[in-house]
Copies of this chain bind each other. A is one copy, B any other.
Amino acid sequence: MNVSNSIEVAAARIAEFTHKTPVLNAPELDKKLGCQVFFKCENLQRTGVFKARGATNAVFALSEEQAQYGVATHSSGNHGKALAYAARMRGIPAYIVMPSNASEIKKKGVLEYGGKIIECPPTLADRERYCERVIHTYGAHFIHPFDNADVISGQGTCARELFEQTDSLDVLMVPVGGGGLLGGSILCRDYASPNTAVIACEPEGADDAYRSWRAKKLIPQTNPQTIADGLQTSMSDRTFELMMGGVREVLTCSETGIRQAHELVMNTLKIIIEPSCAVPMACLLSKPDRFEGKRIGMILSGGNYDFRRENVSS
């Protein structure tokens, strides 16, 4: 399938089930930063995160036969919730394998949309083993969180909207975890805004994309340490290839930088974002010269953040 078409097809397919999220701009902040930042607010997306796009596209791309027994995935968080949402929209069951130590708020998110939770021991091997068992038992169709062409095309619709809402972006800054959002953004940029440089942004404590990009080969993440819990995942071969084919550079930032950027964005924009969202801003703040005078698109990926809980514990 033609790459650009797959994103256009996704946009039409998911329109009914996803929000066209607003783009915010804060002129006073721009003045301080010396550049213009256009925030694409996926924290205001259905399910509170951009992943509703990819999951909805993947679920509705299935044939009747593929979809008849439902869908399954393993996820500790946002993708599970998004898949439960998409499955409910299509009227099919969603089986979400979650580690037994997943937080109550994450379980609640899945249950809220009618997803069925299957608990497993908290290791990747167990997650995959349990997920295979679920697929075998129920005949459910597996939807990977990012290593799936339809998921990636769905995530690409976010950049598509941003380019439509905001002209002539010099730079598009995208957080990178598994690389689905990054891959979709690059594919979309290639046809919709070829002069925009895509910059991937990552925490120093989970910098597999950075190391892989430097080494020009995929180096999986081991033992990630970061509050940006959405970005701990390793990339796949597919998303690594997409990154190498179109990213201008990969930047990293410190944990202190993430905390400061998190607070800055919430206080300035008056929106609730999760720490993973603050990573692109932390990267920008750490290298202000690089962005001087530029028009920057920044994807705020999600808002699933329990600010009360975080505060009590901090």
A residues touching B (Cβ–Cβ < 8 Å)? 19, 22, 24-25, 27-28, 43-44, 46, 48, 112, 266, 269-273, 303, 307-308, 311-312
> Once the chains are docked, how many angstroms separate the CA of A270 from the CA of B303?
6
> Once the chains are docked, how many angstroms separate the CA of A147 from the CA of B292?
43
Chain B residue nearest to A17 (CB atoms) is: B27
Copies of the chain in the assembly:
2
Interface centre among A46, A112, A271 (most CB of B within 10 A): A271
> Once the chains are docked, how many angstroms separate the CA of A303 from the CA of B24?
14
Partner of A272, one of B22, B46, B271, B308: B271
User: Which B residues lie within 8 Å of A307 (CB)?
Assistant: 266, 307, 311
User: Which B residues lie within 8 Å of A308 (CB)?
Assistant: 311
User: Which B residues lie within 8 Å of A269 (CB)?
Assistant: 44
> With A27-B46, A311-B308 as given contacts, are A270 and B272 in contact (CB-CB < 8 Å)?
yes
Q: In the complex, how many angstroms separate the beta carbon of A237 from the nearest chain B beta carbon?
A: 33
Chain B residue nearest to A113 (CB atoms) is: B28
> Once the chains are docked, how many angstroms separate the CA of A48 from the CA of B112?
31
- Are B271's CB and A270's CB within 8 A? yes
Q: In the complex, how many angstroms separate the beta carbon of A130 from the nearest chain B beta carbon?
A: 28
Chain B residue nearest to A28 (CB atoms) is: B112
> With A28-B112, A112-B28 as given contacts, are A44 and B271 in contact (CB-CB < 8 Å)?
yes
User: Which B residues lie within 8 Å of A44 (CB)?
Assistant: 22, 24, 269-271
- Are A48's CB and B272's CB within 8 A? no
Chain B residue nearest to A307 (CB atoms) is: B307
User: Which B residues lie within 8 Å of A272 (CB)?
Assistant: 266, 270-272
Interface centre among A22, A269, A270, A308 (most CB of B within 10 A): A270
> Once the chains are docked, how many angstroms separate the CA of A307 from the CA of B306?
12
User: Which B residues lie within 8 Å of A270 (CB)?
Assistant: 43-44, 48, 271-273, 303
User: Which B residues lie within 8 Å of A22 (CB)?
Assistant: 22, 24, 44
User: Which B residues lie within 8 Å of A266 (CB)?
Assistant: 272, 307
Chain B residue nearest to A314 (CB atoms) is: B308
